[in-house]
Structure 1
Amino acid sequence: MVETMADTPDIAFERLAATILDGFWFHYPDWASTLGLHEHDARLSDRSAEGLAAESAWLAERAAELAEVDIAQLSVQNRVDAAILATRLRMMRFFLDDLHEYEWNPAEANPGVALYTLLARDYAPVATRLTAFAGRLRQVPAALTANRVLLAGKQLSRIHLELAIGQFEGTVDLLGGELEAALEEAEEVRPAIDAVRPAALEALRDHIAWLKERLAAGDAGEEDFRDPRIGAELFARKLSLHLDAEADAAAILARAEADLERVTEEITQAAADYEGVAVPEDAAERSALVRRVLNRLAEAVPDDDTVLEYARSAVLEQIAFVRGHDLMTVYDDPYEVVAMPEVHRGVAVAYCDPPGPLEPAEAGVQTILAISPTPEDWTQERVDSFFREYNLHMVHNLMVHEAMPGHLLQLQHSQRFESPTPIRAALWSGSFVEGWAVYAEELMARHGYPGAGDPAGVRLQQLKMQLRMIINTILDGRVHGHGMTEDEAMALMMDRGFQEEGEAAGKWRRALLSSAQLSTYYVGYTEVSDLVRDLRAAHPDWTERQLHDAVLGHGSPAVRYLRELLAL
């Protein structure tokens, strides 16, 4: 790192941070696109063995340079950003050098998300985006060939192999109808697309066939599958890096198991109040009471044909409620509620996909709120079970989380934050983002949000979601660190969490497909709740709007840094 006589510690750090971030965008062009940086839109990441080795060496060099910075000499804003950047470098090195997921999770090589981003985001004219799309499409055959070389002879995870097959098939579909719809708006780019699409489609189909051969060989006992559980030691390290929280894996699991008992008591009391009866003494009767009330609420259900429109209406009602109660500043940025594209299906039920945090505000890019329809191969019984879980009351709670005042609003606040470096915008904290959304559920229920005309029903569903969040954390830790079995997990979710069988089965799958992510909700929620409590004590004269705007006014850092920024 070269410094001049005029450099202050802050200027030197900001220059180094810019260099490191530029390197990120070079190594991860698809990530850069999602953030709103479009210099590398025509490129795919080099995930070959040689590319990964070069990336690992680059990360080590940048981490060494950052370690030379005297953090104590920086401003508070840069001090926080330096800590965030250092943690991200450690996490990325952990993924490459220790976890090696790219060697056993074939879904990581799917170019579908990198391609879909260019179709879904209207940050530039369609012709500009399709020209970049053609550039990425041209690289698909070589990228998939390199991935097969990388995976040859490696033990793959069966469940990740199944996920990859489904998502790769979604990418093939993307190159049909969705791409054609975009080409109708920019026919001048069709020759460039037609020059590369046939080879890309052939490569994708060949790769899907190869993945299916690997799956069939494993099912026939010709090769072993890898356990998708990453083990206690790797899980503890990944959780620490992923959450950037003060508590460790053991402390998080212990608090979650204690909170499971507390929230069970709360939902039991709420169910008794709903029915106008006393809480039974017998544990089995208490459980039956909660299930009886939740089953009654689950009778009001949407279906695949109506759930999107119902979700759209729910968001409008929530915007009016937040404004009417002056809970925080609300913005009128554009958004839409859509069916989840196939390249994203198979893990979560819904997601919020905001504009790239580095996208210029004048681009007017809208937030996408996506909800997954039920899979076509599900039985009617499982579909019915799913919509009993995601009944009308739960859809309201879900949209509070994903939209208002959850992710949609929080990320709009984050988009408006300005800092000397773009680190906080680019490297946001998942635990803060998810923790705020869960806190938003509780906030709305506490203020009597009526949902489908039944505020007590919303409160019960919110408590059920809290149970689910807590159980997710227990699953995360016990599946990957303690060998929890499927039977144990299903019993925990269905008996203690009152979940429908379809939801529980999906969550078991998600616990195997991911690690550390399911804990972000609970850890973030406890940290955000504790922060709001302490901030309220420090500023008893603040209105709720002042309080919440202060929490949302510093981007999306981990709560440990937000405490420093708020002088707590």
Structure 2
Amino acid sequence: NRTDFGLIKDFVESQKFYHEQFKSYEWNPSNYNVGGSFAKIAGGSYAPLDERLKTFLVRLKNVPAYYEAARENIVNPTLEHTELAIIQNNGSLNIFGQSLVDSLEKSGLSDDEKNLMMERVGAAKTAITDYVSWLENKKAELENGGGKSFRIGKELYNGKFHSDIVSSYTADEIYEVALEHKKELHSKMFTITAELWKKYFGDKPMPEDKLLATRQMIDVISLKHVHRDSFQTAIEKQIPELVNFINEKDLLTQDPDKPLVVRRMPAYQAGIAGANIQSPGPYDAKANTYYNVSPLSNYTDEEAESWLREYNHYILQILNIHEAIPGHYTQLVYANKSPSMIKSILGNGAMIEGWAVYTEKMMLEEGYGNNEPEMWLMYYKWNMRSTCNTILDYSVHVLGMEKEAAMDLLMNEAFQQKAEAEGKWKRVQRTQVQLCSYFTGYYEIYKLREDLKEIMGDDFNLKAFHEEFLSYGSAPVKYIRVLMMLKHRDKTPA
């Protein structure tokens, strides 16, 4: 109850901060998009089709007024968020297309209701296209200068970090921890590079520059990847393999009755991440969880090859651990079973992302990948991604890092392909603080596990730790830490 109260208090204070200080409703046009809510109504399983369509019909009435209010609220938009809003709102038009017409035809709605639906759909689509046209005019103005900077500055950054991450650490502290972790990862990666050099390069001399040698090793190993047309299929194939490994190692209890559907990324979500998990909430817990994957159909051959080298044979497996099992998908299944509805509804992004990052290392520690040095090298590269997410985000928004320095960090120190680095630069312009959630949550979860190992000694059980940790829903790690430490503090070995 105390933790639930803390979550509610944090939520209220966060909303106050966003309304009174952050004020993104004035400068981020992508805040205004009806696509997500209508997609959930149309594609949900929480109620019969007719009931959902009637809800859809009622909400449609207000779409024109919604976009009119959006135009009134937007005072000084950033160019970057204006561009994103254009992409995503254009994507939302798909929700009001043929699939909706098909649902309407097979429904039990009256002819009057069906006619009213199509009338309101037309008005909604007009409202969206008018908003997009208005934004395109804004974009043309902003391209000539004078718009708000996408960088939010130190004061707002610290406030948003406090509101969103809810960590035991400050943004400054996590930034410093990430810098130190980057050094440790570079050292481990070079050790593996030296071990593998002869296998891949024969008698070719290894460069004295350790980062360059590591880059060359990563580049040659990254050539092993799936075909561009098989990317989604490869993901679907790997999911059962992860399930089997967890069952064999008895790492946590899974629920075979919760569906996971791999699908193409919906257009209204485009422009942020290459893959994500879209899960049902606790009130619709039996609905599908979607593993959304960005298609490569719009990529040139060069862009697709760069993308596939980034998500190569090894990293694709780590991505699936992160997004699916035992990462996001597994954690969110557990969250929906939490006896506390508050902990499920007021989910903490750093706990959710941190758990997914934690599971990557945990799986390799337990033997996934057969301890191949190539797998460990690619894991460290992937973990460098989370680490440099934090460094990049803080450096750009607080320290004023420019694109050239950001690309150098991502490509030469985090060893990312150009396509991935370009995508991350777009992302850091369009989001703030969220990129810190991965490393911050991971760092706090891993530290909690190691502290409990020290306290409990031989009584520590990894499966029990996982299931107890996940039983608290999606609460911030700092709250879960208090609860678990209180429970186990009297179990210190003699």
Q: State the TM-score, normalizing by the size of structure 1.
A: 0.81
The alpha carbon displacement at 1:423 in A equals 1.4
Question: Which range moves more in the overlay, 305-314 or 115-124?
Answer: 115-124
Deviations 1:468-510 (A, max 9, x none): 1111101111111010000000000000000000100110111
CA–CA separation in structure 2 for the residues paired with 1:138 and 1:233: 40
1:157 paired residue number: 78
Residue of structure 2 aligned with 1:97, choices 20, 24, 27: 20
2:273 paired residue number: 348
The alpha carbon displacement at 1:316 in A equals 1.0
1:538 aligns with 2:461: no
Q: 1:276 to 1:557 in 2, by over 3 A?
A: farther
Q: 1:79 to 1:225 in 2, by over 3 A?
A: same
Instruction: Name the aligned partner's letter for residue 343 of structure 1.
Output: Y
2:492 paired residue number: none
Task: Check conservation: 1:131, 1:192, Cα contact below 8 A.
Answer: no
1:183 aligns with 2:107: no
1:203 paired residue number: 127
1:517 aligns with 2:441: no
Task: Check conservation: 1:107, 1:161, Cα contact below 8 A.
Answer: yes
CA–CA separation in structure 1 for the residues paired with 2:105 and 2:452: 53
1:562 aligns with 2:480: yes
2:407 paired residue number: 490
Q: State the TM-score, normalizing by the size of structure 2.
A: 0.92
The alpha carbon displacement at 1:375 in A equals 6.7
1:401 paired residue number: 322
CA–CA separation in structure 2 for the residues paired with 1:561 and 1:83: 9
The alpha carbon displacement at 1:277 in A equals 7.8
Q: 1:129 to 1:302 in 2, by over 3 A?
A: farther
SS for the counterpart of 1:555 is coil
The alpha carbon displacement at 1:442 in A equals 0.4
Task: Check conservation: 1:449, 1:455, Cα contact below 8 A.
Answer: no
1:26 paired residue number: none
The alpha carbon displacement at 1:541 in A equals 1.9
Task: Check conservation: 2:228, 2:296, Cα contact below 8 A.
Answer: yes
The alpha carbon displacement at 1:346 in A equals 0.4
1:25 paired residue number: none
CA–CA separation in structure 2 for the residues paired with 1:120 and 1:290: 46
Question: Which range moves more in the overlay, 177-186 or 433-442?
Answer: 177-186
1:285 aligns with 2:209: yes
Q: 1:518 to 1:181 in 2, by over 3 A?
A: farther
Deviations 1:506-532 (A, max 9, x none): 101111111110000000000000011
Instruction: Name the aligned partner's letter for residue 172 of structure 1.
Output: L
1:380 paired residue number: 301
Task: Check conservation: 1:326, 1:544, Cα contact below 8 A.
Answer: no
SS for the counterpart of 1:338 is strand
Residue of structure 2 aligned with 1:144, choices 67, 73, 80: 67
CA–CA separation in structure 2 for the residues paired with 1:499 and 1:348: 15
Deviations 1:102-139 (A, max 9, x none): 11110111111111111232222222222211222221
Structure 2 gap segments, 5+ residues each: 490-494
Instruction: Name the aligned partner's letter for residue 331 of structure 1.
Output: D
1:506 paired residue number: 423
Deviations 1:213-268 (A, max 9, x none): 1111222x3x6211011011110111111111111111111111111100111122
The alpha carbon displacement at 1:454 in A equals 8.2
1:423 aligns with 2:342: yes
1:294 aligns with 2:182: no
CA–CA separation in structure 2 for the residues paired with 1:367 and 1:185: 25
Q: Percent identity?
A: 30
Task: Check conservation: 2:81, 2:430, Cα contact below 8 A.
Answer: yes
The alpha carbon displacement at 1:447 in A equals 2.1
Question: Which range moves more in the overlay, 485-494 or 457-466?
Answer: 457-466
Q: 1:491 to 1:187 in 2, by over 3 A?
A: farther
Q: 1:114 to 1:134 in 2, by over 3 A?
A: same
CA–CA separation in structure 1 for the residues paired with 2:388 and 2:221: 21
CA RMSD of aligned residues (A): 2.1
Residue of structure 2 aligned with 1:212, choices 128, 132, 136: 136
Task: Check conservation: 1:449, 1:458, Cα contact below 8 A.
Answer: no
